[in-house]
């Protein structure tokens, strides 16, 4: 296994814009959708079809940029939840793509037909970083010249067997990296855990309420303005003032939640720098995992997986200092998700204040004085699962290139700017981070970095073992001295759905549930710190 050379990002393609076909088919309700599906009209939005569309768009972008793809020997492909949403295997994804390629005129672009790879993974929403990592390994470990990656997703579950799946089933699928035991015992899912984590953050830093409200609003506004000029690749580009002020699961509001998107994203990576004046280079990558249950984590509010991912990527990238980091693109399906990333990045580069101060002082933000953050809208503006990270990498690259409607960074001719892009799987169970460097090609080629692909097999195996152990669990070890830390809730047709977080004396968080009356009595008081007893199956034990 060898390691040599640098990795440059030559071009990309992405779109989460709602396909007109889906809009037409779903506008008439379930009957219309069924008719469209039975007629075969929905085939273009099956995940494997979107994957091919993404490849064709990537090929067109490469031709427009003058990128020669003939030396490509691998194409890394991935779709969102292939077994659950598309109801096909990874081998079938690769085989379908290979058949389309070999029977198309595009096969003549390559000196020889590339190998098609689709790597199985537990990474869920972070799964886009897996083909990206595979492409890095193609270039750095297998000695290839050019490697492509193409990703796609249809989060509605539309496939050859059905027109779509129910929202409740989608919610359950998206909770694949939440402890199976916690899901069964308490109904824990991404939304509930995200809401509880955000509430816990607010308890510790009340300024964060205003800071995140400001950040979310400005992200939505920037995305809207990009879309007005036809530059946005996002799904939701609505002006923030036109989004209904509605709480989805307290304290998360509709304006801060990622939509379920359909789309694709792809990149061309090369060992050779571009012939263009400006270049973007991959400078660092990190990946790490956390236990699938928050019970087994040091804290619910800070992700060790993201901390290790950011730290690894930054140690590889050798960023000179705070002034060199110009761009951040966040994988933010909920408002509180980027907080660990921001804390670690700012601390590592010597920023003297807190994250809330950085956001409120506009040191970090879409028009941040020090760092431009979240300009693409992040996952909040479109989340097709697997393509999300790849889209964010492409959007960060466009900002470094100075294209795509983004305002110029104002770099000097000798200056190299850096961008950080996060990838979040589950409730920070499988996280990753990538750092890009951009500037004049001559200057970018001079940077010193220690880029090294991560070991996906061992990382993925660790997650698999944890999920298996949690699925076999019949009861959790619940320590004495628990107190109520936070109560979240959602209004439903059947009344309020409650979700509680209890804190152990050691500071760890446990999810728990109980009768509505129990939570109603707590909410009528200053409940934080109230003693609570919880059973091994995470049910409240009332005296």
Answer with the residue of higher pLDDT: 72 or 493: 72
Q: What is the pLDDT of residue 374?
A: 97
- Six-digit token string for 93: 């994804």
pLDDT of residue 322: 86
Q: Do 467 and 292 touch, CB atoms closer than 8 A?
A: yes
Least confident window among 136-145, 280-289, 459-468, 534-543: 534-543
pLDDT (mean) for 520-529? 96
8-163+255-467: CATH number: 3.40.47.10
Q: What is the pLDDT of residue 158?
A: 96
Query: How many CB atoms are closer than 10 A to CB 257?
Result: 24
H or E stretch at 99: helix 90-102
Q: What is the pLDDT of residue 142?
A: 96
Span 252-288, pLDDT tens digits: 999 999 999 999 999 999 999 999 999 999 999 999 9
Q: What is the pLDDT of residues 466-475, one digit of tens each?
A: 999 999 999 9
pTM over 0.95: yes
Overall average pLDDT of the 27-41 stretch: 94
Mean pLDDT, residues 433-439 taken together: 98
Residue 137's pLDDT band, with cuts at 50, 70 and 90, is very high
355-386: pLDDT as tens digits = 999 999 999 999 999 999 999 999 999 999 99
Cβ distance 501 to 300 under 8 Å? yes
Cβ proximity of 423 and 329 under 8 Å:
no
Cβ distance 400 to 328 under 8 Å? Answer: no
Sheet architecture: strand order including 115-117: 115-117, 72-79, 146-154, 262-270, 8-15, 278-289, 430-440, 416-425, 325-329, 371-373, 364-365
Measure the CA–CA gap between 395 and 216, rounded to whole angstroms.
Answer: 18
Which residue in 105, 380, 407, 401 sits closest to 267, CA to CA? 401
pLDDT of residue 299: 85
pLDDT for res 2: 43
Numbered ranges of CATH 3.40.47.10 in the chain: 8-163+255-467
The per-residue pLDDT for 543 is 64
Q: What is the distance between the terminal CA atoms of the chain, rounded to a whole angstrom?
A: 62
Say how far apart CA 433 and CA 430 lie, in whole Å. Answer: 11
Angle at CA 186, nearest 5°, toward 524 and 124?
A: 125
pLDDT for position 1:
41
pLDDT, tens digit, 9 for 90 and up, residues 184-211:
999 999 999 999 999 999 998 889 999 9
Assess whether pLDDT exceeds 90 at residue 66: yes
**Pairwise CA distance, residues 253 & 261, whole Å:** 18
Architecture in CATH of 475-543: Beta Barrel (2.40)
The pair of structure tokens assigned to 496 is: 């309020």
Domain limits, CATH 2.40.50, in the chain: 475-543
> What pLDDT, in 10s, does the model give residues 440-477?
999 999 999 999 999 999 999 999 999 999 999 999 99
Q: Is residue 4 over pLDDT 80?
A: no
pLDDT at 159: 97
**What's the mean per-residue pLDDT of the chain?**
95
Q: Is the pLDDT of residue 524 over 70?
A: yes
């Amino acid at each position: 296994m060898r390691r040599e050379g640098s990795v440059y990002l030559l071009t990309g393609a992405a779109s989460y814009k709602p396909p007109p076909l889906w809009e037409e088919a779903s506008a008439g309700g379930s009957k219309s959708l069924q008719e469209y599906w039975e007629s075969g009209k929905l085939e273009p939005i099956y995940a494997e079809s979107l994957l091919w569309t993404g490849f064709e768009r990537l090929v067109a972008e490469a031709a427009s940029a003058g990128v020669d793809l003939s030396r490509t020997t691998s194409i890394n492909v991935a779709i969102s939840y292939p077994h659950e949403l598309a109801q096909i295997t990874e081998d079938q994804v690769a085989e379908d793509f290979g058949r389309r390629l070999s029977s198309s005129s595009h096969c003549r672009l390559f000196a020889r037909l590339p190998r098609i790879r689709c790597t199985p993974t537990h990474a869920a929403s972070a799964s886009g970083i897996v083909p990206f990592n595979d492409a890095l390994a193609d270039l750095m470990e297998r000695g290839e010249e050019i490697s492509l990656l193409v990703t796609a997703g249809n989060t509605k579950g539309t496939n050859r067997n059905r027109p779509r799946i129910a929202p409740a089933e989608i919610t359950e699928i998206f909770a694949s990296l939440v402890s199976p035991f916690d899901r069964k015992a308490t109904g824990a899912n991404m939304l509930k855990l995200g809401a509880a984590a955000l509430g816990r953050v607010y308890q510790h830093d009340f300024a964060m309420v205003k800071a995140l409200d400001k950040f979310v609003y400005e992200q939505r506004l920037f995305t809207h303005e990009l879309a007005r000029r036809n530059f946005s690749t996002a799904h939701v580009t609505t002006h923030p003032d036109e989004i209904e002020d509605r709480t989805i699961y307290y304290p998360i509001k509709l304006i801060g939640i990622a939509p379920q998107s359909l789309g694709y994203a792809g990149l061309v990576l090369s060992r050779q720098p571009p012939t263009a004046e400006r270049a973007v280079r991959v400078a660092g990558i990190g990946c790490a995992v956390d236990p699938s249950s928050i019970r087994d984590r040091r804290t619910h509010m800070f992700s060790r997986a993201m901390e290790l991912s950011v730290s690894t990527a930054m140690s590889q990238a050798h960023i000179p200092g705070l002034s060199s980091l110009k761009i951040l693109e966040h994988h933010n399906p909920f408002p509180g998700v980027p907080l660990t990333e921001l804390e670690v990045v700012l601390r590592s580069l010597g920023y003297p204040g807190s994250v809330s101060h950085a956001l409120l002082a506009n040191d970090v933000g879409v028009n941040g004085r020090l760092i431009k953050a979240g300009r693409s809208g992040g996952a909040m503006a479109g989340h097709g699962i697997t393509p999300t990270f790849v889209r964010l990498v492409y959007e960060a690259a466009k900002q470094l290139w100075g294209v795509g409607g983004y305002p110029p960074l104002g770099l000097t001719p000798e200056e190299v700017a850096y961008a950080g892009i996060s990838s979040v799987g589950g409730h920070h169970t499988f996280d990753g981070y990538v750092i890009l460097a951009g500037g004049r090609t001559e200057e970018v080629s001079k940077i010193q970095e220690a880029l090294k692909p991560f070991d996906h097999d061992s990382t993925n195996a660790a997650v698999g073992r944890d999920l298996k152990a949690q699925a076999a669990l019949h009861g959790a070890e619940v320590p004495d001295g628990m107190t109520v830390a936070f109560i979240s809730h959602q209004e439903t047709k059947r009344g309020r759905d409650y979700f509680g977080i209890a804190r152990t004396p050691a500071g760890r968080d446990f999810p728990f549930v109980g009768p509505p009356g129990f939570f109603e009595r707590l909410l009528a008081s200053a409940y934080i710190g109230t003693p609570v007893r919880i059973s091994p199956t995470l049910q409240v034990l009332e005296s």
